[in-house]
Structure 1
Amino acid sequence: MSVHREHHLESVSRMEVLAGPSGKRRWSEALKGRIVAETFVPGVTVTEVARRHDMRPNHLSSWRGLARTGKLVVPDFAGASFAEIVIAEALPPPPVTQHRIELVVGSMTVRLDAATDARRVAELAAALQAAL
């Protein structure tokens, strides 16, 4: 049994062809460095630099990572700079405090350990409320 299908296009008034980067492009190390340098200018976003160079922002972000680790040379670019890394001494640990749960109903206060199960806390609160 054969099936016959007909397709009719009544009218095609407009057709758009969207073109983007196709295939693998080769970028020289110098060009990569110049493009990355553009992203270090205050107020400039990676997305807008990527759009200007017809590339994806995540690709440019990976180049920025290479530049931060010294694997990609970035030329001096007016206004471009890396943020300075500051290593501070370790902060002392916060003081250990004992947390408690307090149920206050009328003139009654019940103090519970913070590890008390939530259902148990709810049961006690209901019992205290019923006792009034």
Structure 2
Amino acid sequence: MTMSCDDAGTSGVQRFEVFTGVGKRRDWPPEVKASIVAESYSGRESVSAVARRHSVSVSQLFTWRRLMRKQMEERGIALPVASRQAPAFVPAVIAPDDTPEPAPDPVRSRRRRRAEPAAIELEIGGALVRIGSSADADTITAVITALRA
């Protein structure tokens, strides 16, 4: 029985993948491991950078470091501890701002105020007043009276 989707033998290759890299577990000689671990303790580069350069995963390098530390402690040899500098803070300096503030653009400020729709808009004497739908009649009367004065 032949299925319509079974064309493996009749069509050409549509996709071809090549896998690069190591396909099996690598067996690192102890001297190479020790060299990489020593390089990771040098302090010139981060552990991640050393691992990347030697094509080792970062977690693998940290495992090697831990095992090496354990072996050294069992032999009574202390690994040198890198001296870390205490965190330092940069002093904050507040300087007066001598630049003048730009004049507000009246067209732009109107646009900014229109974020909420208003039920009533009044423009009297260059003043724009928006009254929301929740305002009561006494408030609206007081606003109009104040604008006329």
What TM-score do you get using the length of structure 1 for normalisation?
0.43
Larger CA Rg, structure 1 vs 2: 2
| Greater relative contact order structure (CA < 8 Å, 6+ sep) | 1
What TM-score do you get using the length of structure 2 for normalisation?
0.39
